[in-house]
Copies of this chain bind each other. A is one copy, B any other.
Amino acid sequence: MSASRTARERVRAELIREITEIARRHLTVDGAAGLSLRAVAREMGMVSSAIYRYFPSRDDLLTTLIVDGYNALGEAVEKADAACARDDYMGRWLAVCHVVRGWALAHPHEYALLYGSPVPGYRAPEDTIAPATRGVAVYGRILADAIAAERLAPPAILPEPPATITPDADTVRTLIPGASDDVITRAVTAWTGLFGMVSFEVFGQFTNTINHRAEFFEHTMTCLARLLGLPS
């Protein structure tokens, strides 16, 4: 029962892989709503009903694509972070920002699937939340490292967060050990700022407005880092 037992299981795993591969290609071309089980089956030389042997519904196929997307982005984030000097906290943050933006621009439909409007009658299953935390876990590690090295110096321009959010901050603190409530809220603000910026760009909110987007992005992410207190 190591990698593959029977021949049937081998071909089954291979078929599942091939289906998701074709589906991902259709997704990147036509978007989530254009993903058709019948079209995938047609391309595989199968009949549509045969697909249902491998994916009980279209939503399940979509779910694995979402999971794959989170993993792909998460892995890219991990690699970008790993390529930086451990004590270059600002560089690590900017690397994460750039790889998120780059991945989103390279795979806009997949990005939309992860961070855009949820698809129609689709309910996000439990399987998606674990891989979804992969990217933000890296982010938390960067901040935790900076805190541990006493290099995080957030500028004292903000009011203290209300005590109401302490329980929520506790949840986030599992990702950023040692962070105060103030740092937690700054961290979430910067994180949502990153994705807000990327979403605005990917979803076309910047058309006819911001054209030097790479430079603009670079600068605004640096600003968010400053708000966070990351050392330059």
Contact = CB atoms under 8 A, between A and B. Distances in A.
A187 to B, nearest CB: 11
A215 B161 CA distance: 9
Contacts of A164: 212, 215
Interface stretch (A47-55, A141-149, A151-159): A151-159
A66 interface: no
Copies of this protein chain in the complex? 2
Given A167-B212, A196-B197, A31 B220 contact: no
Contacts of A215: 162, 164-165
Interface string A165-208: 10110011000000000000110110011111101100111001
B212 A168 contact: yes
B157 A219 contact: no
A219 B162 CA distance: 8
Contact of A196 (B186, B192, B210, B216): B192
Interface of A: 30-34, 109, 112-113, 115-121, 124, 129, 155, 157-159, 161-162, 164-165, 167-168, 171-172, 185-186, 188-189, 192-197, 199-200, 203-205, 208-212, 215-216, 218-220, 222-224, 226-227, 232
B172 A209 contact: yes
Contacts of A216: 165, 168, 185, 188
Contacts of A209: 168, 171-172
The 5 A-B pairs of least Cβ separation, nearest first, read A196-B196, A116-B117, A112-B117, A33-B120, A192-B196
